[in-house]
Structure 1
Amino acid sequence: MTVTLAEEIMLLSLDDESGAAKEKQSASWAVAGGILLDLVLAGRVAVDGGRLRVADETPTGVPLLDERLRRIAEWAGRRSRAPKVTEWLTKDSRKAVEATIDSLRGRGLVRAEQHRVLGIFPVTRYPEADGSVERELRDGLRSVVLGGAEPDARTAGLLALVHGAKLHRLAFPDVSRKEIAPRLEEIAAGQWVAEGVRRAIRDMQAAMAAVTAATVITTVS
Structure 2
Amino acid sequence: MAVTLAEEIVLLSLDDESGSAQQRQAAGWAVAGGILLELVLAGRVSVTGERLEVTDTTPTGEPLLDGRAALMATWLRGRGRRRATDWLAHDQPKAVSAAVEVLCRRGVVAEEKRKVLGMFPVRRYPEADGTVERELRDRLRAVVLDGAEPDTRTAGLIALIHAAKLHALAFPDGERKRVTARMAEVAEGQWAATSVRQAIRDTQAAMAAVAVLTVTAVS
Residue number in structure 2 paired with 1:129: 128
Q: Say which is worse superposed, 41-50 or 9-18, in terms of deviation.
A: 41-50
**Structure 2 CA distance, aligned partners of 1:101 and 1:170?**
17
3-state SS, counterpart of residue 207 of structure 1: helix
Aligned to 2:207: 208
Residues in 1 aligned to 2:60 and 2:155: alpha-carbon distance in whole angstroms: 21
Distance 1:83 1:103 in 2: 27
Output the amino acid matched with 1:16: D
Matched residues in 2 for 1:54 and 1:193: separation? 23
Over aligned residue pairs, what C-alpha RMSD do you find? 1.5
Corresponding residue for 2:45?
45
Q: Evaluate the alpha carbon distance shift between residue 176 and residue 76 of structure 1 in structure 2; reply closer, same or farther with a 3 A threshold.
A: farther
- TM-score using structure 2 length: 0.94
Are residues 1:195 and 2:194 paired? yes
Q: 1:113 & 1:59 partners in 2: Cα distance?
A: 31
Partner of residue 89, structure 1: 88
How far residue 106 of structure 1 moved from its aligned partner, in angstroms, is 0.3
How far is the alpha carbon of 1:191 from its aligned partner? 1.9
Q: How big is each residue's C-alpha offset from its partner over 1:123-181, in whole Å with a ceiling of 9 and x where there is no partner? A: 01101000100011001101100100000000000000000011111111112432222
Question: Which structure 1 segments of 5+ residues have no match?
Answer: none
* Partner residue in 2 for 1:141: 140
- The answer to whether 1:180 aligns with 2:179 is yes
Q: CA deviation at 1:75?
A: 1.4
How many equivalent pairs are there? 219
1:68: Cα distance to partner? 0.9
Report how far residue 213 of structure 1 moved: 3.4
| Residues 105-138 of structure 1 deviation map (CA, whole Å, 9 limit, x = unaligned) | 0000000111222332110110100010001100
CA distance in 1, matches of 2:191, 2:50: 20
Q: Does structure 1 residue 31 correspond to structure 2 residue 36?
A: no
Does the Cα contact within 8 Å between 1:50 and 1:204 map onto a contact in 2? no
Alignment of 1:93-108 (within 5 A): 93-108=92-107
Q: Secondary structure at the match of 1:123?
A: strand
Partner of 2:5: 5
Aligned-partner SS, 1:116: strand
Describe the SS at the equivalent of 1:124. Answer: strand
Deviation at residue 211 of structure 1 after TM alignment: 2.8
Q: Aligned letter for 2:19?
A: G
Change (3 A) 1:130 1:9: same
Q: State the AA in 2 paired with 1:56.
A: D
Whole-angstrom CA distance in 2 between matches of 1:26 and 1:176: 20
Query: Which SS does the other structure have where 1:46 is aligned?
Result: strand
- Return the alpha-carbon distance in structure 2 between the equivalents of residues 214 and 170 of structure 1: 24
What whole-Å deviation, never above 9, does each CA across 1:11-42 have from its counterpart, x for those lacking one? Answer: 00111011100000111111111111111111
Q: 1:183 to 1:96 in 2, by over 3 A?
A: same
Deviates more, 1:113-122 or 1:24-33: 113-122
AA partner of residue 181 (structure 1):
T
* Counterparts of 1:45 and 1:64, CA distance in 2: 15
Please state how far the C-alpha of 1:210 moved relative to its aligned partner. Answer: 2.5
1:48-105 per-position Cα deviation (integer Å, ceiling 9, x unaligned) = 21222112111111111111111112212332x5211111111011221111111000
Q: Contact 1:108–1:130 at 8 Å: present in 2 too?
A: yes
Identity among equivalent pairs (%): 63
